Structure 1
Amino acid sequence: MERYPPIADHGLVGDLQTAALVSSQGVIDWFAAPRFDSPSIFASLLDHDGGGHFLLAPEHPEGTWRQLYYPDTGVVVTRFMSPDGVGEIIDYMPVLPGPTASDRHSLVRIVRSVRGTVRFRLVCRPRFDYARATHELDLTPDTATFRAPGTTAFLQSTIPLERDEQDVRGAITLNGGESAAAVFTVCAPGGEAPPPPTTERITEELWENIAFWHGWVRTSRYHGRWTDMVHRSAITLKLLTYAPTGAPVAAATMGLPEQVGGERNWDYRYTWVRDGSLSVRALLDLGFVEEAARFTRWLGDRLSAREGPDDEPLQIMYRVDGDPHLTEEILEHFEGYRGSYPVRAGNAASDQLQLDIYGEALYALAEGREIGEQTGYHGWKALAGTLDWLVDSWDRPDEGIWETRGGRQDFTYSRVMCWAAFDRGLRLAATFRRPADTVRWTQARDAILEQVMERGWNDKEQALVQHYGGDVLDASLLLAPRVGFIAPRSPGWLNTLDAMDRVLVSDSLVYRYDPQASPDGLRGSEGTFSLCTFLYVDALARAGRLPQARYTFEKMQTYANHVGLFAEEIGPSGEQLGNFPQAFTHLSLIMAATTLDEALDGPHH
């Protein structure tokens, strides 16, 4: 078992309420339950010795490994090839039906010998509550019961199990065509063990899971040039969405570093208003209207929960159930991925002021008639009240989209998205004939545009810059033409693109900004930001620079991992960095692909 496999060396499985990472050598080294944001049970990716893991792999792993997804599904297949035989591990989580939160979640692991003889070994070492809780073990030959405060877990297997102190291990030799299974189920304290696994039941459940994913993907209306990558990104977004509320998390993991050995190690298992709102456009582009509509209902509930007219209408992020409390703590007993300390649980950035979220929220609510029509009278009153508040609040320094911890600035992108909030609010009011203070909204929208073009423009750089009075370029502004703030082929915007190309683009990959030129309150550096690279593709396509856009998009695909997944960043050696997989990256891939397809199919290409 590799001490710390590369971040990208994983596939993702999930049941639409939580998720797990399985390495390409058969190790579950990240799993939290019952929700994405619950304390971990397996976390050896954050502390190899103490975090806990679940290994199921050939006993002698010297050979060739290959991991893939069963096409158009969330089922991971890990294959091992050696002179003695070919073994296979199939990992998935049964998709939970309906919108009801469940306290029972199962990881299903099937091993089989495809050809020859393969001996598999099993090691299951759960470490509950971020490895802070002790557990008791009861063991029978086919069932291990782990009892910890607040949680009971069962490991049931057709592989004979034996005690290893408070953990379990096992081994089995399989000949060609033979298979075995192990099912790890987490439930509430006192929960009963599920029926023991049988080959027939597990096989039937596997094909039901495959049929679910195939049926869902069939509803996509994307038939463009990059179907495999787009559908893999859509499945990843689905896997990262908490089905009971429709809220997507930013990533499946916490604490994975933006720079190995550095301190930029955040908990991303929450729902950002920004990320979720932009996912609405990506999902609608593919025809997934129900998923988009469910998030906008969640978003509307957050707006309606505002207590008073002077309160901030939205927090930048929430737990998947809408809980606004995300207290940040440092898990001092975890050494961090390859020594990247500290490991943080919770996220203190939830208290930041980031005014751009109102633009993304309104952008989502205005992006489809089907969604807009669901905004009833009380929902509209909450939305209009938000814009009335923003009229008096947009002209303030804030922390900006990147959640820097270096103090508030007059960030240009925040103002651009406030412009988008008023622009989309005016459209919604006109389309659905709703009562609104359109005079003040219009005045605010126009004042923002004039202010940005006067104070956000830098004559020396000949570009829009990160914040007023500065000269730092910022890739977040790549969204400006997409939301209609600036014409995508206007001279000022083309000059801004050229400046970004000189300063932020490195061999087609895009940095979000230069932290050395714009101190962000944190030590160290970071890699190129994958979201920004796809936003760059989108902007290039809109600017008519199609050869460059296509080259950048297709080159970026070569940085995906072996199963088509992206983390947050790409480091100087091409390695993936940050939490994994990241929803923001995958939704921006979808946005870039659909924009580029449309441009390439256009009459002038």
Structure 2
Amino acid sequence: MVGRIEDYALIGDLETAALVGKDGAIDWLCVPRFDSPACFAALLGSEDNGRWRIAPAGAATCSRRSYVPDTLVLETVWETVGGAVKVTDFMPPRGGLPQVVRRVEGLSGRVAMRADLTVRFDNGRIVPWTRTVDARTVVAVAGPDSALLHADAAVDLSVTTPRTSCAFSVAAGERVTFVLRWSPSHLPANPGGDTEELLAGTLDFWRTWTSKCLYQGPWRDVVVRSLVTLKALTYEPTGGIVAAVTSSLPECLGGERNWDYRFCWLRDSTFTLSCLLRSGYREEAVAWKDWLVRAVAGEPSDLQPLYGVGGQRRLVETLAPWLAGYEGSEPVRFGNAAVGQLQLDVYGEVLNTVYSALRAGVAIDTQVWRLIASFMEYLEKHWREPDAGLWEVRGPRRHFVHSKIMCWVAADRALRMARVAGLRGSAERWRAMRQEIRKDVLRHGWDDEMGCFVQYYGSRRVDAAVLLMPKLGFLPPDDRRLRGTLEAVRRLDHHGFLRRYADTGGPGRVNEVDGLYGGEGTFLACSLWFADSLAMTGRRDEGRELFERVLDVRNDVGLLSEEWDPVSRRQLGNLPQAFSHVALVNTAFALHGTRAESRNGNGRHGDGSRNGRHGDGSRTESGSRVRAAR
């Protein structure tokens, strides 16, 4: 039986990832990449759609589990009447083909174990041919895909049409290790390298990486766990960063907001990159910068909100009727129609991140400068248009306030970089554009009667996205309009957490903004943005209280999905969610910044701006120096 969303832990190899439940089952794995079809899709259907479970015979859930500190190696302990056993799950950082290693180790007594493997290629749809290679090895093949299961000890692998099973036992000190390795079906299958060396190499990789973290505040373990999670969402070969590793986990149980998040949203990846930069990880910034240039090559008018991990553009949204959906939440979607939306805020997100990278000392080459100029040329002509906004609504386009502010950010950051880029000839146009956008937002995005900024021009709805204003430098923290907006945002409170905006619908109801049935939970990133704003406006204790409230809803291994239902006390949406973990790290810095952070060139804010006197639009390009790339 599929577990709750919060029952799952993550393992990954920086090219794809798997979810391991408390019951010992891997219910989700896409191979060979994050955005490839799943070979284990039980998460969105049933066991017949693919899973791999290893657990004591007759046991339902584990006794406890945790990651080896500062790594992505998962240890699950089972205590039974006959003794105790530990299962260690990990995916070695890729040196070739993807493989999942599961080591069963006896801790005390003797424990009877059972392993059941059901492989279903093409998102849980295709039953492969399975054959025995030798006493410890089986291979499953269908079309372009092949999966090899190998055991390093004598176990009785029983191969049937539905699954491969084996029963075995381990006593204290004994070990049995299983390796599942995917490969293209036309290549010879082999079991891979020594598993103990693979484990040692995986532990060393993660410990070396986490040792670079600059954060030294009171929540260091929490921050490191989120950073490891964000690193695990990075596609190492190209530098792309996915929003989550899953598809179609619902924002409301039984609703239709079930989206595929296994792609590289420019917005999400820029948020992630800014977070990694302030935490001391410049290599990821360089890799992402190179991915960006390759992915968006072409006309700026063709910029997409999201791309595949390799930079591919065609991400057609299709339905999977053979999958029943997580707890019956239909439809199950693969691909994402948001790829065709106009989201003007993305231009500002990209320029903001390039600016942050530059301030952190990342070299910016000629191609990136040309990209900046082309983006600005496009925005000068199109910033006045309505768009789909930060929340990617599937209703009509609107003049979203956040999108306009991000167009202002684009102009502001381009101005800051103009001198370094040798674009002084464009500076006057960009300065005028920045001022015009600011006046437009203050005139049409502010509602005097409500005393706050609204979601879109002419709206009477509050949107949590406006909480990003002070961090972006559009208004200083002490501006009365910002303070009024913060008070108005409290209306979005739902049992101590924030919704994205008002009137989000509910079971059997239609959301007035996007026209979809079903509601949604509270949006975890929004609660954290509110904590940031509280800290910036002098209410640090209140911000800390909200931050720790969010920490309390992480699962037992420190993971957050996109949303939280405070009534049923369940996580909702895709897991793990980059947006949530980025916001968590940024809030930890906001509540307890470090000197090391300042040395890294990130000032007080996650976006790299120092705020200064941005509120009236003056002196915005003089708040800090920008170092030229050599």
TM-score, normalisation: structure 2: 0.90
Q: How far does residue 195 in structure 1 lie from its aligned partner after superposition?
A: 4.0
Give CA deviations for 1:455-478 in whole Å, capped at 9, x if unaligned.
Answer: 101122210110011111111111
1:541 corresponds to which residue?
535
Pick from 9, 12, 17: which aligns with 1:11?
9
Distance 2:414 2:50 in 1: 49
Structure 2: which amino acid aligns with 1:352? Q
Q: Specify the SS of the correspondent of 2:356.
A: coil
Q: How far does residue 67 in structure 1 lie from its aligned partner after superposition?
A: 1.7
Q: Is the 8 A contact 2:42 2:124 kept in 1?
A: no
Pick from 64, 67, 72: which aligns with 1:66?
64
Instruction: Verify: 1:149 aligned to 2:176, yes or no.
Output: no
1:320-339 counterparts in 2 under 5 A? 320-339=309-328
Q: Is the 8 A contact 2:293 2:367 kept in 1?
A: no
Q: How far does residue 373 in structure 1 lie from its aligned partner after superposition?
A: 5.5
Q: Is the 8 A contact 1:387 1:421 kept in 2?
A: yes
1:556 corresponds to which residue?
550
Instruction: Verify: 1:374 aligned to 2:363, yes or no.
Output: yes
Question: How many residues get paired?
Answer: 587
User: Which stretch of structure 1 is more off in the superposition, 75-84 or 243-252?
Assistant: 75-84
1:437 corresponds to which residue?
426
Distance 1:431 1:196 in 2: 49
Q: Is the 8 A contact 2:24 2:62 kept in 1?
A: no
Q: Which runs of 5+ in 1 are unaligned?
A: none
Q: Is the 8 A contact 2:14 2:231 kept in 1?
A: yes
Q: How far does residue 436 in structure 1 lie from its aligned partner after superposition?
A: 4.5
1:37 corresponds to which residue?
35
1:245 corresponds to which residue?
238
User: Which stretch of structure 1 is more off in the superposition, 343-352 or 430-439?
Assistant: 430-439
1:270-349 counterparts in 2 under 5 A? 270-303=263-296, 305-307=297-299, 312-349=301-338
2:91 corresponds to which residue?
93
Distance 1:462 1:126 in 2: 57
1:473 corresponds to which residue?
462
1:391 corresponds to which residue?
380
Distance 1:368 1:597 in 2: 22
Instruction: Verify: 1:185 aligned to 2:178, yes or no.
Output: no
Q: Is the 8 A contact 2:80 2:111 kept in 1?
A: no
2:582 corresponds to which residue?
587
2:206 corresponds to which residue?
213
Q: Is the 8 A contact 1:542 1:599 kept in 2?
A: no
Q: 1:87 to 1:436 in 2, by over 3 A?
A: farther
Distance 1:72 1:436 in 2: 49
Q: 1:169 to 1:373 in 2, by over 3 A?
A: closer
Instruction: Verify: 1:54 aligned to 2:69, yes or no.
Output: no
Q: Specify the SS of the correspondent of 2:488.
A: helix
Q: Is the 8 A contact 2:23 2:62 kept in 1?
A: no
Distance 1:462 1:370 in 2: 36
Distance 1:599 1:77 in 2: 32
Q: Is the 8 A contact 1:455 1:469 kept in 2?
A: yes
Q: Is the 8 A contact 2:131 2:159 kept in 1?
A: no
Q: Is the 8 A contact 1:156 1:196 kept in 2?
A: no
Q: Specify the SS of the correspondent of 2:470.
A: coil
Give CA deviations for 1:473-514 in whole Å, capped at 9, x if unaligned.
Answer: 11111111101001112111011001111x112343111012
User: Which stretch of structure 1 is more off in the superposition, 178-187 or 287-296?
Assistant: 287-296
Q: Which runs of 5+ in 2 are unaligned?
A: 506-510, 599-630
Q: How far does residue 299 in structure 1 lie from its aligned partner after superposition?
A: 1.6
Q: Is the 8 A contact 1:251 1:268 kept in 2?
A: yes
2:222 corresponds to which residue?
229
Distance 1:160 1:314 in 2: 54
Distance 1:62 1:339 in 2: 22
Report % sequence identity.
38
Q: Specify the SS of the correspondent of 1:564.
A: coil
Q: How far does residue 194 in structure 1 lie from its aligned partner after superposition?
A: 2.6
1:158-173 counterparts in 2 under 5 A? 158=153, 159-173=155-169
Instruction: Verify: 1:21 aligned to 2:19, yes or no.
Output: yes
Q: How far does residue 329 in structure 1 lie from its aligned partner after superposition?
A: 0.3
Give CA deviations for 1:75-96 in whole Å, capped at 9, x if unaligned.
Answer: 0111111232111111000112
Give CA deviations for 1:550-600 in whole Å, capped at 9, x if unaligned.
Answer: 000111100000000000000132210000000111111111111111399
Q: 1:573 to 1:445 in 2, by over 3 A?
A: same
Q: Is the 8 A contact 1:302 1:314 kept in 2?
A: no
User: Which stretch of structure 1 is more off in the superposition, 369-378 or 254-263?
Assistant: 369-378
Q: How far does residue 371 in structure 1 lie from its aligned partner after superposition?
A: 6.2
Distance 2:359 2:513 in 1: 43
Q: Is the 8 A contact 2:532 2:591 kept in 1?
A: yes
Distance 1:567 1:368 in 2: 27
Instruction: Verify: 1:565 aligned to 2:559, yes or no.
Output: yes
1:68-87 counterparts in 2 under 5 A? 68-87=66-85
Q: CA RMSD in A?
A: 1.8
Q: Is the 8 A contact 2:23 2:60 kept in 1?
A: no
Distance 1:129 1:213 in 2: 31
Distance 1:62 1:477 in 2: 45
Instruction: Verify: 1:138 aligned to 2:101, yes or no.
Output: no
Instruction: Verify: 1:498 aligned to 2:487, yes or no.
Output: yes
Structure 1: which amino acid aligns with 2:557? V
Instruction: Verify: 1:449 aligned to 2:438, yes or no.
Output: yes
Distance 1:223 1:266 in 2: 36
Q: Is the 8 A contact 2:285 2:362 kept in 1?
A: no
Structure 2: which amino acid aligns with 1:381? R
Q: Is the 8 A contact 1:25 1:78 kept in 2?
A: no
Q: 1:599 to 1:203 in 2, by over 3 A?
A: closer
Structure 2: which amino acid aligns with 1:564? G
1:106 corresponds to which residue?
99
Q: Is the 8 A contact 1:296 1:364 kept in 2?
A: no
TM-score, normalisation: structure 1: 0.94
Distance 2:8 2:61 in 1: 18
Q: How far does residue 313 in structure 1 lie from its aligned partner after superposition?
A: 4.6
Instruction: Verify: 1:463 aligned to 2:459, yes or no.
Output: no
Pick from 571, 580, 583: which aligns with 1:576?
571
Q: How far does residue 542 in structure 1 lie from its aligned partner after superposition?
A: 1.1
Q: How far does residue 520 in structure 1 lie from its aligned partner after superposition?
A: 1.3
Q: Is the 8 A contact 1:5 1:23 kept in 2?
A: yes
